[in-house]
Amino acid sequence: MNWADLRWLVPELVLSAAAVLLLVADLFTPAERKRWLGWFAVASVVPAAASAVILLGDLQALRSPGVRIFSDTYTLDAFAVYFKLVALGAVALVSLVSLEYFPGRTPHLGEVFALLLFAGVGLLLMASASDLILLLLSIEFVSLSSYLLAGFLKRDPKSNEAGVKYFLYGAATTGVMAYGFSLLYGLTGSTSLYDIGPRLGQAGPAVYLAVGMALAGFGFKVSMVPFHQWTPDVYEGAPTPITAFLSVGPKAAGFAALVRTLSVGIPLEQVNWPLLLAALSALTMTVGNLLALVQRNLKRMLAYSSIAHAGYVLMALAAWRSPWALQGLLYYLLAYLFMNLGAFFVAMVAADATGSDEIPDHAGLSQRAPWVAAAMAVFMLSLTGIPPTAGFFGKFYLFAAAVDAGLLWLAALAVANSVVSLYYYVGVLRALYLMPPATPGPLPVPAGLRAGLLVALVGTLAAGLYPQPVVLFVETARRLLTG
């Protein structure tokens, strides 16, 4: 190993060091000052993100699509940097609102932020792992931290249920995925994605079996049907900031890992995986949308909606032969980061006052907190895909890719699904704007939550109204190191 290679790992090193420092500082911080630990967590994301951007500049100065270090186990390319920035954005925003949520609910504030940072390190590694062992390990890193965070509120039975359910489901799918990985190793004699691709040869049905089993693990992370059953219970029971984190962080990193594994490790000529994913995408978006229609709990509704959105993003993999596909996936996941985090943050505002996540209990929010209700309107319209929001551009890219790849039926199904989704998204707005509030009077919104909401709102609108910078970055990030 070469010591100079460590510089490509600076974002991970910064975030790990911050997490360990935070744990040590926690020991010496008196209870009334624990909130500073949260600010430290938010601040530590800044140097990590800055170093990721600098590394991207270094790559461009080298005129290289990417570097592979540590015997090809770790790859840094523009694609990885893009997902690292998305992951860091999720960690920062979720830490910010956690500052308002967790004090008073748990005495172990320091550990919340340390685990969030550790989960962040896992996400950074997932975006770069190009070896089955590191890939499995980084997925487990994110999963284990997530199980703990989902079950963090010990006195809340729903949080306990969320933690245990997430853990049991995750353990089972990881086992299946590890078995699939072992088959890939057995067929090729290598754990490196760069070696597996060329060596797969004419292995026939065993490769399909291995890919299918590996998909169980990835499907669990991105909540793809039929590995989605955990989603509503965990999203409903977990502390709301953690739910927000689960819906964007691990999902985006799961897609990053899935894209890298399939595009680098499994040649299209051996396995027709776009066809397989087209079927899964159609199933995922339809099941998610139909089940979302009947939900009365806002967090459960957003859980089913997040399953539907996983279906839309899977369209990019189904349409892989189109040059628009990867751009669509990248743009959509950034848009989804802002709009979905925003929706969960709004859910926190009303739940803080009423103690309930039921949609009718959000009635009259437009009178009690007009700006929050207006932001929710933007997020709901963006999730539906109505211009000029980021969600519209994301869907436009994805639908164009599907049409371009000749998957007209899939694009038509996605449009139909988007129309159906309008019903339940507008249902939320109806409660917010047309139903009278149960208790009148303005609703206080804590500062951290206000800041998080503002960033999400600006992100959703800016990426929709002025998409050029994002599109340019997405163009760069398309350069995926393929071997």
Partner 1 sequence: MNAEALAFYALAAMVVVGGGLVVQSRNLVHAAVSLVPTLLGVAGLYVLLHAEFVTAIQLLIYVGAITVLILFVILLTEGATGLRVPQRNEQVPLALVVSGALVLLLWAVLLRVPWGPPAGTLPPYNPGAVGRSLLMPYVLAFEVTSLVILACLVGAIVIARREE
Among the residue ranges 78-86, 96-104, 134-142, 339-347, the one whose residues contact partner 1 (CB under 8 A): 134-142
* Count of residues touching partner 1 (by CB under 8 A): 50
* Residue in 107, 157, 444, 469 binding partner 1, rule: CB under 8 A: 107
Closer CB to partner 1, 98 or 145, in the complex: 145
Tell me: does residue 159 bind partner 1 (CB under 8 A): no
Number of residues assigned to the chain: 483
Tell me: does residue 151 bind partner 1 (CB under 8 A): yes
Tell me: does residue 133 bind partner 1 (CB under 8 A): yes
Closer CB to partner 1, 71 or 468, in the complex: 71
Closer CB to partner 1, 199 or 479, in the complex: 199
CB of 111 to partner 1, least distance (A): 5
Look up residue 42 and give its two tokens: 């938010």
d(CA 42, CA 44): 6
Tell me: does residue 270 bind partner 1 (CB under 8 A): no
Closer CB to partner 1, 184 or 348, in the complex: 184
CB of 144 to partner 1, least distance (A): 5
CA–CA–CA angle 114, 118, 124 (5° rounding): 145
Closer CB to partner 1, 56 or 144, in the complex: 144
The 3-class secondary structure across the chain, one letter per residue, is: CCHHHHHHHHHHHHHHHHHHHHHHHHHHCCHHHCHHHHHHHHHHHHHHHHHHHHHHHHHHHCCCCEEEECCCCEEEEHHHHHHHHHHHHHHHHHHHHHHHHCCCCCCCHHHHHHHHHHHHHHHHHHHHECEHHHHHHHHHHHHHHHHHHHCCCCCCHHHHHHHHHHHHHHHHHHHHHHHHHHHHHHHHCCCEHHHHHHHCCCCCHHHHHHHHHHHHHHHHHHCCCCCCCHHHHHHHHCCHHHHHHHHHHHHHHHHHHHHHHHHHHCCCCCCCHHHHHHHHHHHHHHHHHHHHCCCCEHHHHHHHHHHHHHHHHHHHHHCCCCCHHHHHHHHHHHHHHHHHHHHHHHHHHHHHHHCCCEHHHHCCHHHHCHHHHHHHHHHHHHHHCCCCCHHHHHHHHHHHHHHHCCCHHHHHHHHHHHHHHHHHHHHHHHHHHCCCCCCCCCCCCCHHHHHHHHHHHHHHHHHHHCCHHHHHHHHHHCCCCCC
Tell me: does residue 281 bind partner 1 (CB under 8 A): no
CB of 470 to partner 1, least distance (A): 31
Closer CB to partner 1, 230 or 336, in the complex: 230
Tell me: does residue 401 bind partner 1 (CB under 8 A): no
CB of 262 to partner 1, least distance (A): 20
Closer CB to partner 1, 217 or 437, in the complex: 217
Tell me: does residue 121 bind partner 1 (CB under 8 A): yes
Among the residue ranges 112-120, 248-256, 280-288, 345-353, the one whose residues contact partner 1 (CB under 8 A): 112-120
Tell me: does residue 115 bind partner 1 (CB under 8 A): yes
Contacting partner 1 within 70-89 (CB under 8 A): 70-71, 73-74
Report phi then psi at 106, rounded to 5: -145, 145
Closer CB to partner 1, 98 or 417, in the complex: 98
CB of 147 to partner 1, least distance (A): 8
Tell me: does residue 36 bind partner 1 (CB under 8 A): no
Tell me: does residue 199 bind partner 1 (CB under 8 A): yes
CB of 216 to partner 1, least distance (A): 11
Among the residue ranges 93-101, 127-135, 254-262, 305-313, the one whose residues contact partner 1 (CB under 8 A): 127-135
Tell me: does residue 150 bind partner 1 (CB under 8 A): no
CB of 145 to partner 1, least distance (A): 5
Report phi then psi at 323, rounded to 5: -65, -15
Tell me which residues touch partner 1 (CB under 8 A): 1, 9, 16, 19-20, 23, 70-71, 73-74, 107-108, 111, 114-115, 118, 121-122, 125, 131, 133-134, 137-138, 140-141, 144-145, 147-149, 151-152, 154-155, 163, 183, 186-190, 195, 199, 203-206, 208-209
